[in-house]
């Protein structure tokens, strides 16, 4: 993808998310795994301490699901909580289902909001 063309950036790591902000178009959005972020002109930033939330639900490897679910809860992705949960139920092995569903719930229930 060309610089300045992306609508949405999901940053699993703070540094990588900030480094890739130039990929966003003017007015694009970035959901970045960080408790806080500096203000950046021209983009909408959504900091979220996804590491902490994933740890709290016992799924430290579920950061991606927390971020995706949070982005969906903000209207940045076209998926409802139910749709994501149904996909996990269909695609994830039974032994890992519950812990992944908890990560989704954490993302949709996150209280962190941009300033």
CATH number of the domain residue 77 falls in = 3.40.920.10
Looking at per-residue confidence, does 115 or 72 come out higher? Answer: 72
Look at the chain and report how many structural domains it folds into. Answer: 1
Residue 19: inside a domain, yes or no?
yes
Q: What pLDDT is stored for residue 112 in this prediction? A: 57
Alpha-carbon span 69 to 81, nearest angstrom: 7
Residue 42: inside a domain, yes or no?
yes
Please tell me the pTM assigned to this model: 0.92
Q: What pLDDT is stored for residue 115 in this prediction? A: 40
Please count the CA atoms within 13 angstroms of the CA of 105 that sit on its side-chain side.
10
Instruction: Answer whether residue 11 shows pLDDT above 80.
Output: yes
Residue that the structure tokens 């940045």 belong to: 76
Using CB atoms within 10 A of its CB, is residue 52 exposed (0-12), middle (13-18) or buried (19+)?
Answer: middle
Mean pLDDT taken over the chain: 95
Residue 80: inside a domain, yes or no?
yes
Alpha-carbon span 115 to 106, nearest angstrom: 20
Q: List the one residue out of 1, 42, 50, 39 whose CA is nearest residue 23.
A: 1
- The model's confidence at residue 1, banded by pLDDT at 50, 70 and 90, is confident
Q: What is the mean pLDDT of residues 45-67?
A: 97
Q: What is the mean pLDDT of residues 51-63?
A: 97
- The model's confidence at residue 21, banded by pLDDT at 50, 70 and 90, is very high
Q: What are phi and psi of 48, to 5 degrees?
A: -150, 125
């Amino acid at each position: 993808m060309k610089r300045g063309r992306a609508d949405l950036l999901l940053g699993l790591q703070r540094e990588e998310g900030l480094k890739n902000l130039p990929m966003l178009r003017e007015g694009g959005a970035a959901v970045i795994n960080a408790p806080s972020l500096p203000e950046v002109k021209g983009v909408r930033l959504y900091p979220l301490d996804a590491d902490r939330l994933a740890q709290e639900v016992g799924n430290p490897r579920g950061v991606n699901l927390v971020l995706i679910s949070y982005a969906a809860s903000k209207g940045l992705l076209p998926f409802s909580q139910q749709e994501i949960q149904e996909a996990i139920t269909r695609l994830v092995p039974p032994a890992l289902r519950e812990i992944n569903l908890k990560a989704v719930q954490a993302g949709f229930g996150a209280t962190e909001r941009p300033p």
